[in-house]
Amino acid sequence: MSNLKEEHRPHGTAMLVWFFFASLIVYYLLSWKFLTGIWKVG
């Protein structure tokens, strides 16, 4: 795929996956935040 012309490279997809990555990290960190709201246990 490295031999693709510049205009045929997946620029849009690259942007979409970073959007996915950002949502993943936001939800991941939020979940840890929620976890600290419960009682101490373990």
Partner 1 sequence: MSLGSPTKYWWDEPLDPYEKTWVWAAGVFCVLITIAMPFWHYTGDQNPSQEYYKISPEKFDAATERFITAYKVGEEQGIPVVVPPPKSDIFIRAHQFGWEPILKLKVGQSYKLHLGSMDMNHGFSLQPINMNFQVVPGWDNILNITPTTTGVFHIVCNEYCGLGHHTMIGKLYVE
Partner 2 sequence: MASDNFRVCPTTGLKVDFSAQTLIKLNAFTAIVFLLVGGLLGLAIVLTRWQAVHLLTAELFYRALTLHGIAMLVAWIVFFEMALLYFTSAILLNCRLAVPWLGWLQYILMLVGGAIVTVMVLTGNADVMFTSYVPLKAHHLYYLGIVLFAVGAILGCVTFFATLGIAKTEKTYQGSVPLVTYGAIVAAIIAILTLAHGAIFFIPTWLWALGVIPMMDPETYRLLFWGFGHSTQQINVAAMIACWYAIGTLTVGAQPASEKFSRSAFALYAIFICIASEHHLLVDPGISAAHKEWNTGYFMHLAVLASMMHAFSVPAQIEIALRKKGYTKGMFEWLKKAPWGDPAFSSMVFSVTGFGFMGGITGILYGTEQLNIIRHNTIAVPGHFHATVVVGTTMAFMGITYYVLPLIFQRQVAFPTVAKLQPYVYGVGMWIFCIAMMFVGGFGVPRRHWDITAAESLFKGELSFGPTVDLGFAVVAIGGVLAFVGGAMFVLNAVATVAMGKKVNQ
**Residues of this chain that bind partner 2 (CB under 8 A):** 1, 4, 7-17, 20, 23-24, 27-28, 31-32, 34-35, 38, 41
Residue 23, binding choice from partner 2, partner 1, none, Cβ under 5 to 8 Å by partner class: partner 2
Residue 29, binding choice from partner 1, partner 2, none, Cβ under 5 to 8 Å by partner class: none
Six-digit token pair at 23? 């949502």
Q: What is the size of the binding site for partner 1 (CB under 8 A)?
A: 22
Q: What is the DSSP letter of 7?
A: G
Distance CA 26, CA 22 (A): 6
Distance CA 3, CA 9 (A): 9
